[in-house]
Homo-oligomer: A and B are copies of this chain.
C-alpha cells in the first residue's frame, strides 16, 4: 500500500483513522494487456490509480477508434463523467500492457463521504484534479498544434509514449501516421 499512500498524501494527508478506513476500500489489481476496464455502454463505477501500466480511452465511431486520452503511471483512471452521472460510458478504457492498479468503488466511496468529512474533502480535491486534467485536454484540443500536443505527451511520460503504437498516437493527435513521422523526425533533430 505504500505507493498509493504516497500518492494520496500529496493530495491530502489523512489522519490515521481516516486513512485506515480509506485503505479498507482500495483494492489492488493486476491486469494483463488488452484488458477492458470499461466497455462502451457500461456505467463506470470506479476511480482507479495506476501504479504502473498504460491505458487508452477511446470512442468508436463507425468502426474507427477515436482516442481522446492516454493514462500513464501515477495517474487517475476513470470515466469520471459516467462515474458521476451514472450514465453509460461513451468511451472504453483498455490496458495496453501489463498493469497494476488500485481500484476504489463508487458505492464504498460514497459511504466514506458520509462517515468521514475529511474523506469528503479528499473527494473534492480529487474532483478538482480531474477537472484540471480534462480542462487541459480541452485547451490542448482547441489551441495546440499536433506537434505541441505530441510534446505534451512526451513531457508526461516519454518512456511509455515510446511503447505506444504509432497509429494510436496519430489517432490521439488527429493526424495521419505520415504527419506523425514528420513531427517525430523534426523533434529528434532539434
For the complex, give the distance between the alpha carbons of A66 and B124 in Å.
Answer: 30
A131 at the A/B interface (Cβ < 8 Å)?
yes
For the complex, give the distance between the alpha carbons of A130 and B85 in Å.
Answer: 13
Q: Select the stretch in A23-31, A98-106, A115-123 that faces chain B.
A: A115-123
Report how many residues on chain A are interfacial, defined by Cβ distance under 8 Å.
29
Check B131–A130 contact: CB distance below 8 A: yes
Asked whether A121 and B131 contact (CB < 8 A) given A138-B141, A141-B141, the answer is no
A124 closest partner in B (C-beta): B124
Please give, as numbers and ranges, the residues of chain B lying within 8 Å of A120 by CB-CB distance: 117, 120-121, 124
A128 at the A/B interface (Cβ < 8 Å)?
yes
Residue from B117, B121, B138 within 8 A of A134 (CB atoms): B138
A1 at the A/B interface (Cβ < 8 Å)?
no
Please give, as numbers and ranges, the residues of chain B lying within 8 Å of A139 by CB-CB distance: 90
For the complex, give the distance between the alpha carbons of A142 and B141 in Å.
Answer: 8
Check A85–B132 contact: CB distance below 8 A: yes
Check A131–B81 contact: CB distance below 8 A: yes
A138 closest partner in B (C-beta): B138
Residue from B66, B84, B124 within 8 A of A142 (CB atoms): B66
For the complex, give the distance between the alpha carbons of A130 and B128 in Å.
Answer: 9
For the complex, give the distance between the alpha carbons of A141 and B136 in Å.
Answer: 13
Asked whether A138 and B68 contact (CB < 8 A) given A85-B132, A124-B127, A130-B131, the answer is yes
For the complex, give the distance between the alpha carbons of A84 and B126 in Å.
Answer: 12
For the complex, give the distance between the alpha carbons of A136 and B87 in Å.
Answer: 13
Please give, as numbers and ranges, the residues of chain B lying within 8 Å of A123 by CB-CB distance: 124
